[in-house]
Structure 1
Amino acid sequence: MIGKDTVLNGTYRILEEIGSGGGGIVYKAYHERLKTTVVLKRIKENVKGILESRTEVDILKNIKHTYLPRVYDFLELEGEIFTVMDYIPGKSMAQMLAEQGAFPQKQVLGWAEQLAEALAYLHGQSPPVIHSDIKPANIMLTPEGNICLIDFNVSLAFDRNMRTSTGVSGGYSPPEQYRTVTSYRSFTVFGKRRESAARTADMMGAAETELMTGVGETGFMSDETEMMSPEATPTVSMVESLIGSGVDERSDIYSLGATLYHLLTGNKPPADFERGTSVEECGVAVSEGFAHILNKMMELDPDRRYQNGAEALYALRHIYELDSEYKAYYKKRRNRRVSLAILYTVSVALAVGGALTVQKEKNTAYNRQLVTAVSYMEAGEFQLSQERIEEARSLLPRRIDAYCRELQLYYAREDFDICVTYGRDLINNPEYRVRDASDEYLLGDIFYIVGNAYLEKDDFANAVNCFKEAVELNQNNSLYYRDYAIAEAKMGDDAEAKEILDDAILLGLREDSIYMVRAEIAFARRDYEEAETCFQKAVATAGSDSLRRRAVLLCAKMYKNWGNAYIDREISLLEQEENQQGTSSLVVSERLGDAYARKAKCLGGSQEYYRRALNQFEQVYAGGMVTYQVEENIAVLQEQLNEIEAAERTLQDMLKRYPKEYRVYKRLAFLEADRQQRRANQQRSYEQMRSYYGKAVQLYEQQDAEDGEMQMLGNMLRELEAGGWF
């Protein structure tokens, strides 16, 4: 046992022991260098000797996802291997079930999508990381309301042979995770009863056992003891064929389904697979779509489940497709083609068989790339996200999904001009095919994203048109109606906005989104006090990080529009959001940097706030948001802080990326003017400034733009010429 305040590896100071079990003692510790709390936990001895030679170490240490703890390090202490991970505060779902019982579908469905996203990320690693022990005790709900899937089986990432030796959690583990039929039966009601009878037999003797069971030379058995007879055992042939086959991604899917079943019903699934766990029979109101997904997750045959986290996530995000209304719609479309389809299918059935297998593999790889792309996108790793999207598109270039994700990426990067241009091109000159209703919904997403980009550009008329198209393609998406209502409110038509909001509420729009729309309607009416109140309620009731962040950004934008009198409120709101544990956002950091810069101007050029602003933009740049605006802001702030040489280096680097961008030369001209102004008169030379301005003019004349700063530069140079400086 390791004592309190012991410092391990010169880095980890032990705070306390927080658990122990078959795997060893678990410690809470403090990471002295990173100034954060971590957990040290012993992992299986089987991985000794391979920690330094296997590339999987780097894979695990690079795991970075909102709903997973971060793996910091692996240590060998007194002959044991320990993993160092994030310490996750909060309550486990097991604790919450004990305190509250079952949870409503709406809440469980939100958690389900988060957990599936975490699994999609783990399964998308190469090789896939298998959790192998998903259950309520291993799911944390943090004080901020975030899900975190803890305690994934590090050992399984190192050695695939260990996938037949992992432990089981009765009720949550699938058949293939049990090592033997005997070990499985030890978890079942039948097995436990038989073990009890065996123990009694040892104590009472065989003769007394015959009397207890009612079995004698005649073979007689009483009805009351029939369940204890081997001949009465429910058929286990299928289960027996699966037991011992080892865990893979599909095993995690079963455990996820069993966990969600427990959260939804308040009852732990039975360990006895023959007893069944049909969601429809659980006595809880469950939608058709969710029931279908849970039943498919908990299929005993792994081939009948979703094959990995990406497939499960896709199903949860398209849950509406599994309800009766959608099925009726799709059936109607399908029946129009059924006669020709039958003839065609008969003629090519043999040829298609092999092709379908290849296509399935491509689809799985395609979905995995896109799920990983979204994870990178949410983490601000935009270049990595772009690479995954391009890899997906190379696999299936006619699928719409990757195009939709790329558009989403431009929006996440705040490249709203590119988002609009690319989005309109996707709409007007598609390279993809819209094959079915599911693809029509994705086309609706494209209109929706473009509509939001127009909103960011304050082009409300075009935003309204895009949202109308989105709603036409998917009339069941409450978020389309939400932003449609916001656009109408910004157009000044609050009556239309209210009517659209009512439609969204009928479709189940969440309380947080309702407050967001009401805030925009109040703002359009110039009822600023009501608008502020509604935005604050949207932030307070937000059911997800992304929605809370959007409410924060909209409220911050409102403060900005109100002017400098509200800049302190804007800064406070953005600082609070940036400090949310585990939910950092480059967009929030960028907006905060902009607010700091404006605060500096309000204070007459405060060096403190300029420095804060520069730190923010450098953080955004380092995080992967490498855009023209971010780099220009860095250069301008460096100049404001009298870091002239640093500002010039930044601008010269920008020239390499944007050689035809007149604004870089314009900024260099201003910088050179500033440099010369700091020199004594006899040491000044404005030739370089004039050279930069000349290059800026050549490029500027090719642009359809009006730039007041270019006119200012021209006037400065004419004054310099008049003063005899050339």
Structure 2
Amino acid sequence: MLKVREQHMNHPSKLHAGLTMGGRYEIVRKIGEGGMSHVYLAEDLKLPGKLWAVKESVSDPGQYGSIRDEAQLLISLSHARLPRIVDFFPPDEDGYTYLVMDYIQGITLEKYFAGYRGRIPVDSILQLADQLLEVLDYLHTHEPVIIFRDLKPSNIMLTEHLELRLIDFGIARNYKREQAQDTVKLGTVGFAAPEQYGSGQSDARSDLYGFGALLLYLSTGGAHTEWTEKAERSIRPDLPRKLMPIMRKLLQTSPENRYASAAEVREEIAAAVRLEMKPDARRGKDIAGRKSTQVIAVMGASGGTGTTHTAIAISHFLARGRGKVALIEMNVRSPAFRRIQQIVDGDRSGSPGSRKFEVQGVDYWRQTARSDVISLLSGSYDYVVIDLGTYRERERLEEFLRADVPVIVASGAEWRQQDILDMVHGLSRYPQQKWVYFLPLAGGDAVQRLRRQLNSPHVFSLPLQMDPFDKSEETDKVLGRVFQGLPGGQRRRRFRFGLT
């Protein structure tokens, strides 16, 4: 294997705690370094309490353009799994430049992996792979195409809710079709594709090689990043076997023998995992011998529409004779579930301990991460209702799109109807045939008008229900029409990976 030594920042930093940059960013402390940069935590003096990450880099005069390129690159990108750049200080007389970007609270995948001693849960591996392919697909379909070129555990941040963020775009580049090979050979040994060492130009397939190396690394306890017979034998036995030929293809030496796009890989993995969990034809049932968990995701078109109220009403309706229900709060900023739990526990002032509590046969899960949702889907619930809060076209959108029944809650007031129209228009690239729209307290004319505008029959008015925990004949009648096609009773295990 070609040995490449990573470069480290040899120049002394100009930043220190207490220093103020541009009259706005006060340096708090150093939080990282690597490659050709230092990274500091800074507080925004104009927005007290707001924290940013400041990346300090230094280059020779002939390389000043590279840091400007990185700034322009980041400015052009807009994705929930990428850092957002908010300010840029061009090279000073010594060549020092500064990028001010989102401060991502969490740990690197490298540290997370080490904390598990290389044995992170399989569901977490699948979840991280899905998120990584999602952001790679965005980069590779960007105009111009962006090649990340340095996928490795230390360049991936994980938030406390196991949401993935790509960091350090120091060697990312725009793909130029006319180039035969890369001008600069960059990347981390073990994770970089062969063509990044001089055999050709890196393109989207180079990132897919890096993804395959990372997936193999996670699947072998950190022992392997290249496909060999020994690596194949080292893959953990609890990983779906159908993933092995996918990894093998990702790690082909020649780019033309790999997958063509991140979207294709995502579909292949989704199909492989679903196939792994298919019923055993000889027994006429699946691995667990049960039916699937049905997922209902509830999202508000805007604030104040009664999203949580509606999610609670749906959950208790389903729990009354239809099966076992979990109601999951994924809107981490909402205090609703915490307040409900305090009332249930009889403590209106203390801080609830366990995130799980029960109300009238419904299991409530307060402020739940996506990794926990995956485990709940493979548990004992017939229905999982997810309260996603208000639409923001970012992190929680994927859960909405994955659901068996995606529910949008919107105001029936004519002057607020534009909220739902804007949301639907913003999501027009996604299939919307199975979406359901609830308009609390809306009149019949508002329902008919929205049905025409959305060209959908799945628009319903919800009657007044003061207490969503209690049974309401009028509300049950509406919910019965919406959910009459959902199966109930016993369920089977099913991994939910990728869009269906």
The two structures have a TM-score, normalised by structure 1, of 0.40
Select which of 37, 47, 70 maps to 1:24.
Answer: 37
The equivalent of 2:480 in structure 1 is none
Deviation at 1:91, TM superposition (A): 1.7
Select which of 37, 40, 44 maps to 2:54.
Answer: 40
The higher radius of gyration belongs to 1
Alignment of 1:348-387 (within 5 A): none
The equivalent of 1:105 in structure 2 is 122
Aligned counterparts of 1:282 and 1:6: Cα–Cα separation in 2? 50
Deviation at 1:68, TM superposition (A): 2.2
Matched residue SS, 1:303: helix
- Contact 1:111–1:147 (CA<8 Å) still a contact in 2? yes
Select which of 536, 546, 561 maps to 2:364.
Answer: 536
Say yes or no: does 1:92 pair with 2:108.
Answer: yes
The equivalent of 1:168 in structure 2 is 187
Say yes or no: does 1:281 pair with 2:229.
Answer: no
Select which of 150, 164, 174 maps to 1:133.
Answer: 150
**Structure with the larger helix share:** 1
- Contact 2:205–2:261 (CA<8 Å) still a contact in 1? yes
Say yes or no: does 1:5 pair with 2:18.
Answer: yes
Structure 1 residues 111, 490: CA separation in 2 closer, same or farther (over 3 Å shift)? Answer: same
Residue by residue, what CA displacement relative to the aligned partner does 1:587-626 show, whole Å, maximum 9, x if unpaired? Answer: 99x99998xx9xxxxxxxxxxxxxxxx9xx8996898578
Select which of 246, 263, 266 maps to 2:218.
Answer: 263
Matched residue SS, 1:288: coil
Aligned AA for 2:365?
Answer: K
Count of residues in Structure 1 that have an aligned counterpart in Structure 2: 357
Aligned counterparts of 1:251 and 1:106: Cα–Cα separation in 2? 25
Greater RCO (CA < 8 Å, at least 6 residues apart): 2
Structure 1 residues 74, 88: CA separation in 2 closer, same or farther (over 3 Å shift)? Answer: same
Alignment of 1:623-702 (within 5 A): 624=423
Aligned counterparts of 1:4 and 1:592: Cα–Cα separation in 2? 47
Aligned counterparts of 2:391 and 2:301: Cα–Cα separation in 1? 21
Residue by residue, what CA displacement relative to the aligned partner does 1:179-235 show, whole Å, maximum 9, x if unpaired? Answer: 4xxxxxxxxxxxxxxxxxxxxxxxxxxxxxxxxxxxxxxxxxxxxxxxxxxxxxxxx
Structure 1 residues 624, 414: CA separation in 2 closer, same or farther (over 3 Å shift)? Answer: closer
Deviation at 1:177, TM superposition (A): 1.1
Aligned counterparts of 1:109 and 1:43: Cα–Cα separation in 2? 38
- Contact 1:289–1:321 (CA<8 Å) still a contact in 2? no
Aligned counterparts of 2:168 and 2:87: Cα–Cα separation in 1? 15
Deviation at 1:23, TM superposition (A): 0.7
Aligned counterparts of 2:398 and 2:224: Cα–Cα separation in 1? 41
The equivalent of 1:437 in structure 2 is none
Deviation at 1:555, TM superposition (A): 7.5
Alignment of 1:263-662 (within 5 A): 263-269=218-224, 276=228, 280-285=232-237, 286-320=239-273, 490=318, 493-494=321-322, 497=323, 530-531=358-359, 534-537=362-365, 540=368, 542-543=370-371, 554=385, 583=395, 624=423
Alignment of 1:178-217 (within 5 A): 178-179=197-198
Taking only aligned residues, the RMSD between alpha carbons, in angstroms, comes to 5.6
Residue by residue, what CA displacement relative to the aligned partner does 1:492-538 show, whole Å, maximum 9, x if unpaired? Answer: 653xx47xx9xxxxxxxx9989xxxxxxxxxxxxxxx8446743237
Deviation at 1:279, TM superposition (A): 5.2
- Contact 2:301–2:408 (CA<8 Å) still a contact in 1? no
- Contact 1:29–1:40 (CA<8 Å) still a contact in 2? yes
Say yes or no: does 1:72 pair with 2:86.
Answer: yes
Residue by residue, what CA displacement relative to the aligned partner does 1:327-347 show, whole Å, maximum 9, x if unpaired? Answer: x9xxxxxxxxxxxxxxxxxxx
- Contact 1:14–1:29 (CA<8 Å) still a contact in 2? yes
Select which of 74, 77, 91 maps to 1:60.
Answer: 74
Matched residue SS, 2:89: strand
Aligned AA for 2:189?
Answer: G
- Contact 2:205–2:260 (CA<8 Å) still a contact in 1? yes
- Contact 2:300–2:408 (CA<8 Å) still a contact in 1? no
Deviation at 1:301, TM superposition (A): 1.4
The equivalent of 1:116 in structure 2 is 133
Aligned AA for 1:25?
Answer: H
Aligned counterparts of 1:552 and 1:623: Cα–Cα separation in 2? 30
Deviation at 1:165, TM superposition (A): 1.0
Aligned counterparts of 1:280 and 1:586: Cα–Cα separation in 2? 32
Structure 1 residues 540, 587: CA separation in 2 closer, same or farther (over 3 Å shift)? Answer: closer
- Contact 1:532–1:555 (CA<8 Å) still a contact in 2? no
Aligned counterparts of 1:297 and 1:554: Cα–Cα separation in 2? 36
- Contact 1:586–1:620 (CA<8 Å) still a contact in 2? no
Residue by residue, what CA displacement relative to the aligned partner does 1:250-298 show, whole Å, maximum 9, x if unpaired? Answer: 111111111121222212425xx6x726653115213222212222221
Aligned AA for 1:265?
Answer: T
Residue by residue, what CA displacement relative to the aligned partner does 1:116-135 show, whole Å, maximum 9, x if unpaired? Answer: 11111111111112111111
The equivalent of 1:226 in structure 2 is none
Aligned counterparts of 2:110 and 2:103: Cα–Cα separation in 1? 18
Aligned AA for 2:157?
Answer: M
Matched residue SS, 1:169: coil
Aligned counterparts of 2:28 and 2:391: Cα–Cα separation in 1? 24
- Contact 1:3–1:14 (CA<8 Å) still a contact in 2? yes
Matched residue SS, 1:536: strand
Aligned counterparts of 1:51 and 1:624: Cα–Cα separation in 2? 36
- Contact 1:130–1:156 (CA<8 Å) still a contact in 2? yes
- Contact 1:61–1:73 (CA<8 Å) still a contact in 2? no
The equivalent of 1:218 in structure 2 is none
Aligned counterparts of 2:210 and 2:398: Cα–Cα separation in 1? 34
- Contact 1:163–1:248 (CA<8 Å) still a contact in 2? no
- Contact 2:328–2:364 (CA<8 Å) still a contact in 1? no
Structure 1 residues 294, 490: CA separation in 2 closer, same or farther (over 3 Å shift)? Answer: same
Deviation at 1:553, TM superposition (A): 10
Aligned counterparts of 1:299 and 1:493: Cα–Cα separation in 2? 53
Aligned counterparts of 2:58 and 2:135: Cα–Cα separation in 1? 21
Structure 1 residues 543, 97: CA separation in 2 closer, same or farther (over 3 Å shift)? Answer: closer
- Contact 1:62–1:71 (CA<8 Å) still a contact in 2? no
Deviation at 1:175, TM superposition (A): 0.8
Deviation at 1:109, TM superposition (A): 1.0
- Contact 1:130–1:152 (CA<8 Å) still a contact in 2? no
- Contact 2:327–2:362 (CA<8 Å) still a contact in 1? no
Aligned counterparts of 2:45 and 2:182: Cα–Cα separation in 1? 35
Aligned AA for 2:38?
Answer: I
Mark the runs of 5 or more structure 2 residues left unpaired by the alignment.
Answer: 1-13, 282-296, 303-309, 330-356, 377-381, 401-406, 427-436, 450-459, 464-500
Aligned AA for 1:252?
Answer: D
Identical-pair percentage: 25
Please identify, of 305-314 and 169-178, the stretch whose mean Cα deviation from structure 2 is larger. 305-314
The equivalent of 1:342 in structure 2 is none
Aligned AA for 2:194?
Answer: P
Structure 1 residues 587, 544: CA separation in 2 closer, same or farther (over 3 Å shift)? Answer: closer
Select which of 201, 216, 226 maps to 1:246.
Answer: 201
The two structures have a TM-score, normalised by structure 2, of 0.55
